Amino acid sequence: MIELYLIFLPAVFAALIALSRKPVVIKILLAVAALLHLAGVIMLFNRLQEDAAALLPGWLEADFPGMIVVCIASALFCAVAIYTLFWLPASRKFEIQYPTMSSHALCSVMCLFLSTMSLTAFAANFGLLWVAVEATTLASAPLIAFRRSRAALEAMWKYLVICSVGIGLALLGTFMLGAAARFSSQGFTDLSFRSFISIKEYLDPQYFKAAFLFCLAGYGLKMGLAPFHVWLPDAYSESPAPVSVLLSGALVNCSFLAIVRVTAAVPEKLQSFCSEYLIGLGILSLFVAACFIIRQKDFKRMLAYSSVEHMGLMAIFWGLQMTDAALLHMIGHSACKMILFFMAGNIFLVYGTKEYRYISGMFSTMPLAACIWLGGMLFICGVPPSPLFTTEIMLIQKAGGVLGLLILLPLFVIFCGMTRTALEMTMGPAGEVPRKEAVPAGLRLSIIPAFLAFIPLAAGIYLIFQL
Partner 1 sequence: MNVQVEILMAFFLLSCLMLAACSRMLHCIRIVALQGLLLGLMPLAAAEHIHMHQIGAAFLNISLKAVLLPLLLKAAMHKAQVKRELEPLVGYAASLLIVLGGMFISFWLGRKLNLPENAGALRLAVPVAFSVVLTGLFIIMARKKAITQVIGFLTFENGIALFGSAMMIECGLAVELGILLDVFVLVFIMGIAVMRINSAFEHIDSDKLNLLEEQTHGAAK
Length of the chain: 467
Q: Which stretch binds partner 1 (CB under 8 A): 63-71, 174-182, 244-252, 255-263?
A: 174-182
CA of 306: how far to CAs of 334, 440, 457, in Å? 12, 29, 19
Site string for partner 1, 298-317 (x = CB under 8 A): x--x----------------
Q: Which stretch binds partner 1 (CB under 8 A): 14-22, 181-189, 259-267, 436-444?
A: 181-189
Which residue number, 75 or 258, has a Cβ lying nearer to partner 1? 258
From the CB of 322, what's the least distance to partner 1, in Å?
32
How far is Cα 297 from Cα 293, in angstroms, rounded to an integer? 9
Closest CA to 335 of 424, 463, 439: 463
Kindly state the DSSP code that residue 242 receives in the 8-state scheme.
Answer: H
Check binding of 186 to partner 1 (CB under 8 A). Answer: no
Check binding of 410 to partner 1 (CB under 8 A). Answer: no
From the CB of 138, what's the least distance to partner 1, in Å?
5
- Name which position in 83, 146, 292, 317 contacts partner 1 (CB under 8 A): 292
Check binding of 294 to partner 1 (CB under 8 A). Answer: no
- Name which position in 36, 54, 153, 464 contacts partner 1 (CB under 8 A): 153
Check binding of 164 to partner 1 (CB under 8 A). Answer: yes
How far is Cα 306 from Cα 261, in angstroms, rounded to an integer? 24
CA of 111: how far to CAs of 323, 368, 391, in Å? 30, 30, 32
Q: Which stretch binds partner 1 (CB under 8 A): 22-30, 121-129, 268-276, 453-461?
A: 121-129
- Phi/psi for 58 (5° steps) reads 85, -10
Mind giving me the DSSP string for 392-429?
HHHHHHHH-HHHHHHHHHHHHHHHHHHHHHHHHHHSSS
- Name which position in 23, 89, 168, 428 contacts partner 1 (CB under 8 A): 168
Check binding of 191 to partner 1 (CB under 8 A). Answer: yes
Q: Site size for partner 1, by CB under 8 A?
A: 51
Which residue number, 74 or 296, has a Cβ lying nearer to partner 1? 296
Which residue number, 191 or 328, has a Cβ lying nearer to partner 1? 191
Q: Which stretch binds partner 1 (CB under 8 A): 67-75, 76-84, 142-150, 450-458?
A: 142-150
Q: Which stretch binds partner 1 (CB under 8 A): 13-21, 32-40, 233-241, 445-453?
A: 233-241
Check binding of 165 to partner 1 (CB under 8 A). Answer: yes
Check binding of 11 to partner 1 (CB under 8 A). Answer: no
Check binding of 234 to partner 1 (CB under 8 A). Answer: yes
Check binding of 334 to partner 1 (CB under 8 A). Answer: no
How far is Cα 161 from Cα 254, in angstroms, rounded to an integer? 19
- Name which position in 156, 217, 304, 418 contacts partner 1 (CB under 8 A): 156
Burial of 397 (0-12, 13-18, 19+ CB in 10 A): exposed
Which residue number, 94 or 317, has a Cβ lying nearer to partner 1? 94
Check binding of 59 to partner 1 (CB under 8 A). Answer: yes
Mind giving me the DSSP string for 272-304?
HHHHHHHHHHHHHHHHHHHHHHHT--BHHHHHH
Check binding of 93 to partner 1 (CB under 8 A). Answer: no
From the CB of 137, what's the least distance to partner 1, in Å?
8
Check binding of 289 to partner 1 (CB under 8 A). Answer: no
Cα dihedral value 315, 264, 389, 248, nearest 10: 60
Q: At CB < 8 A and 24+ separation, what contacts does 6-9 make?
A: 6/37, 6/40, 6/41, 6/44, 6/70, 6/74, 6/118, 6/122, 7/60, 7/115, 7/118, 7/119, 7/122, 8/115, 9/33, 9/36, 9/37, 9/40, 9/115
From the CB of 134, what's the least distance to partner 1, in Å?
4
- Name which position in 161, 264, 409, 467 contacts partner 1 (CB under 8 A): 161
How far is Cα 144 from Cα 237, in angstroms, rounded to an integer? 9
- Name which position in 5, 45, 86, 183 contacts partner 1 (CB under 8 A): 183
From the CB of 209, what's the least distance to partner 1, in Å?
12
How far is Cα 55 from Cα 97, in angstroms, rounded to an integer? 50
End-to-end CA distance of the chain: 38
Q: Which stretch binds partner 1 (CB under 8 A): 179-187, 311-319, 320-328, 338-346?
A: 179-187
Q: Is 320 helix (H, G, I), strand (E, B) or coil?
A: coil
Check binding of 148 to partner 1 (CB under 8 A). Answer: yes
How far is Cα 78 from Cα 88, in angstroms, rounded to an integer? 15
Which residues in this chain contact partner 1 in the complex, by CB under 8 A?
59, 125, 127-128, 130-131, 134-135, 137-138, 141-142, 145, 148-151, 153-158, 160-161, 164-165, 168, 171-172, 175, 178-179, 182-183, 188, 190-191, 206-207, 233-234, 238, 292, 295-298, 301, 354-355
